[in-house]
A and B are shown apart, each in its own frame.
Chain A
Amino acid sequence: MRIRIAIRNTFRNKRRTALNVFMIASGVASLILFKGFSANLILSIREGTIQFQYGHLQVARESLWKNSAENPNENLIPDYQGLLKRIQDVPSVKSATGWIGFYGLLGAKDRTVGAQLLSLDPVNESLRLSNLVMVEGKAANYTGGQKVLLGAGVASALRAKVGDNLNLLGYTYDGLVNALDVEVAGIFKSGLKEIDNVTAMIPLEVSQKLLDTKDVEKFIIYLKSTELTEDGRRAVSSLLDSGPRGLEIKPWYELAAFYKEVRSFYNLYDAVIQLIILSLVLIGILNTIGMSVFERTGEMGTMRALGETQRNIVRQFVLEGAVLGVFGGVVGAVAGAVLALVINAIDFRAPMPGASLPQRIQILLPIWNFVEALALTLAASMVAAVIPAVRAVKLEIVDALRRNI
């Protein structure tokens, strides 16, 4: 019956309640949209980091991870083919490939640019390859042979075009200078300018040929999904004993320092925005709820004369705040979800910090965002009710009763 009373009182003043519901609903909807937006942003940064930079898992020698090798030779994994094959057969593994990264010089006619040359396997890393947006050339042209893909920044520093032949210079593992001719198969944008300015991709065989080795420095392992990270890690770990000694596995989240920073930044940013939205809701409804409570001081006097304790009266008003919060929250959740679906249906792209290409705006709608948004606004509307109720209930009963006249 208390709840029934609370519901009826909540809808007593239609106009005022409509205003409150509107404010709470806007708060919930903006929380859902904002949180869904930033969740998607973090997710796409995470997936981008994994797919483009690190893979889900990497296996390398301890000396490489610790940067403790006196001689770069020590980092190499010899006779890796058998182990790599077994890793590729693990059920959660989508693909696995050998990798070498080195610093080299790319020379065009009259320019030389230093670049980070990373292995990119045209077959096993097709997803990574397809993630690269080719501003010139086609990914399909990057098929084995002495091909190179240039980051957009590297290409413009070299004034290189697709089809150009470049001179690639590097030190072999034995410390000798070696050079090869490579053909520009494409110029890419990865989505991150920092990468496009310093990176070029070449097939592993080309690196191995230039650096005069049959070995690799790392395995890059892609899983069927990021959720399988722990499964995959366990499965691959158990295979490592069968391979060369001293191998160690690292998952993406230990490697991706940048992602971790981005995520903690966005978490803080989220918290601040949420606080602002909630404060606005609170300020918005505090006034109207306060008015309603104040107008009912006389009613509080009657309730107390009938034997209601002050605590129970405050409780009743907080219950009314909760009813308002739930109602506004449900309206807001529906409105937020509908808006999110509309935004998701439109292919809406916007530039984003650190991204060289406009990113598609997507709003994720995990159930958790709804729960959190509803809980927060529910708390806000209960706070908005408790403050004036506590103040009003302190009045002497006889003074409160006089307000009925």
Chain B
Amino acid sequence: MIQLGEHGAVLLQAQDVCKTYHLGETSVQALQHVDLEVREGEFLALAGSSGSGKTTLLNLFGCLDRPTSGRILVAGTDVAKLDPDALAEFRAATIGFIFQTFNLFPVLSARENVEYPMLLNKTPAPEREKRAKEALERVGLARFLDHRPDQLSGGQRQRVAIARALVKRPKIIFADEPTANLDKKTAVEVLTLMRDLNSSEKVTFVFSTHDSMILSLASRIFHMSDGRQVAAPETPHAH
């Protein structure tokens, strides 16, 4: 499974990262001294049961949150050094997201949803439309360009979301439990699509899951439990 040799330069680095959430009096240590390097071209899975810290780590890598201590480097940039606007710009240029709940804009058609990220970096309209169409064709939705999210199935919606993440040609795409809301068959299809894109478009993927079947598609697995890396799953995953 671990195929480091095939991959390129280091893209993501977590160095001794801790993240503590405070809830009134109590505090939760969501991440404890996590070290992780991800190289260009990887198709990395974060595995672990619910509450193990997968989402927290993805959020830190995705520049959506800041670590309590330790350093996060994304494409050589120390995330802590960027202000909110610069972070937004950095995300717009470098990072794609796929969400468990798809998070498409309900009032926009599939094509418009895919166009949206290009609106942020001021791509001219004709090019936006062309690239959105191509991206949707790439994920197998050529016939659904003008459908609204509520006219699409879960698997189709996640494909639109994948096209939306892909269309701006990011260095890396983060996917937090991308298949948790899909049935088994669709889940495998969606993940296979991501895997295809990983090799054909040379995009790095980091995704989280607690589904062992999905894990088998990863190029590498980072096992987590209680906010730490663990060597291997203590118990087989139930789902």
Contact = CB atoms under 8 A, between A and B. Distances in A.
Nearest to A402: B55
Interface string A300-314: 001011111111100
Given A308-B120, A401-B64, A1 B103 contact: no
B5 interface: no
Contact of A306 (B84, B85, B107, B120): B120
Contact of B103 (A9, A307, A404): A404
Interface of A: 1-2, 4-5, 8-9, 12, 298-299, 302, 304-312, 396-398, 401, 404-405
22 contacts: A1-B119, A1-B128, A5-B107, A5-B112, A8-B107, A299-B105, A302-B105, A304-B64, A305-B64, A306-B164, A307-B90, A307-B92, A307-B117, A309-B84, A309-B85, A309-B89, A310-B85, A396-B65, A397-B59, A397-B64, A404-B99, A404-B101
Interface residues of B, number: 32
Contacts of A309: 84-85, 88-89
A2 B84 contact: no
B169 interface: no
Contacts of A310: 84-85, 88
B115 A12 contact: no
Nearest to B118: A1
B205 interface: no
A2 B115 CA distance: 11
Contacts of B164: 306
B117 A8 contact: no
Contacts of B93: 307
B222 interface: no
Name the prevailing secondary structure of the B interface residues: helix
A280 B171 CA distance: 51
B144 interface: no
Given A5-B107, A304-B88, A398 B119 contact: no
A302 B88 contact: no
Given A307-B120, A307-B121, A309-B85, 7 more contacts: A5-B112, A306-B164, A307-B90, A309-B84, A312-B120, A396-B65, A398-B65
B71 to A, nearest CB: 19
Interface in B75-117: 84-85, 88-93, 95, 97, 99-101, 103, 105-108, 112, 115-117
A309 B64 CA distance: 12
A302 B117 contact: no
Contacts of B62: 305
B125 interface: yes
A308 B64 CA distance: 12
Contact of A305 (B85, B91, B125, B128): B91
Contacts of A2: 119
B101 A5 contact: no
B193 to A, nearest CB: 20
Nearest to A399: B65
A302 B103 contact: yes
Given A1-B125, A302-B99, A307-B120, A9 B89 contact: no
B108 A5 contact: yes
Contacts of A298: 103
B106 A12 contact: yes
